[in-house]
């Protein structure tokens, strides 16, 4: 089991984009998906809002991933960076891998010089176990949190 920088691994980067799109994006047919993946890969590699993408890999299979974004689409634009896209494939859930990914992104944020990161979520009592502290409710129904990086 190892943590990798997905930005440096094209196959894993494409898989990351596809999973993010399926989980949080709008539906796409296969042709639209392929075009979207190519465009998003180019944007990520050319420094769009993605600061870092870390993947957890076991036996050359991407188990899960987590990202750090510069901003979060028109929400609290003065806050940076944003904890984003934590995902563990279903067959690997319940094994503590989200904690490994969480610790990795906090370490990455600290290495990059940040002292806190922000996140928004509809989940209740999930991110608190990673040290998230409530800030306020957002207009879209989600809650805004921050995590101090020690």
End-to-end CA distance of the chain: 24
The number of folded domains in the chain is: 1
Q: Distance between CA 95 and CA 86 in Å, rounded?
A: 15
**Is the CA virtual torsion 61, 89, 56, 11 positive or negative?**
positive
pLDDT digits (tens, 9 = 90+) for 77-132: 889 999 998 999 999 999 999 999 999 999 999 999 999 999 999 988 889 988 99
Longest dimension (CA), the chain: 44
Boundaries of domain holding 134: 2-148
Residue 82 DSSP SS3: strand
Output the pLDDT for position 73.
72
pLDDT digits (tens, 9 = 90+) for 48-85: 788 999 999 999 999 999 999 998 877 788 899 999 98
Q: Specify the CATH number for the domain of residue 96.
A: 3.40.630.30
Output the pLDDT for position 83.
93
Give the CA angle between residues 94, 97, 99 to the nearest 5°. Answer: 105
pTM of the model: 0.87
Mean pLDDT of the chain: 91
């Amino acid at each position: 089991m190892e943590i990798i920088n997905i930005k440096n691994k094209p196959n894993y980067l494409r898989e990351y984009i596809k999973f993010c799109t399926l989980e949080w994006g709008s539906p796409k047919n296969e042709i639209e998906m392929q075009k979207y993946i190519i465009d998003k890969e180019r944007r990520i590699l050319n420094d769009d809002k993605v600061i870092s993408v870390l993947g957890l890999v076991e036996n050359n299979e991407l188990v899960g991933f987590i990202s750090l974004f510069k901003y979060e689409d028109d929400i609290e634009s003065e806050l940076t960076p944003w904890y984003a896209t934590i995902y563990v494939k279903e067959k690997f859930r319940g094994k503590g891998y989200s904690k490994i990914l969480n610790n990795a992104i906090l370490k990455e944020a600290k290495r990059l010089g940040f002292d806190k990161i922000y996140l928004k979520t509809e989940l209740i009592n999930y991110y608190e176990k990673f040290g998230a502290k409530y800030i306020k409710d957002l207009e879209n129904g989600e809650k805004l949190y921050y995590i101090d990086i020690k």
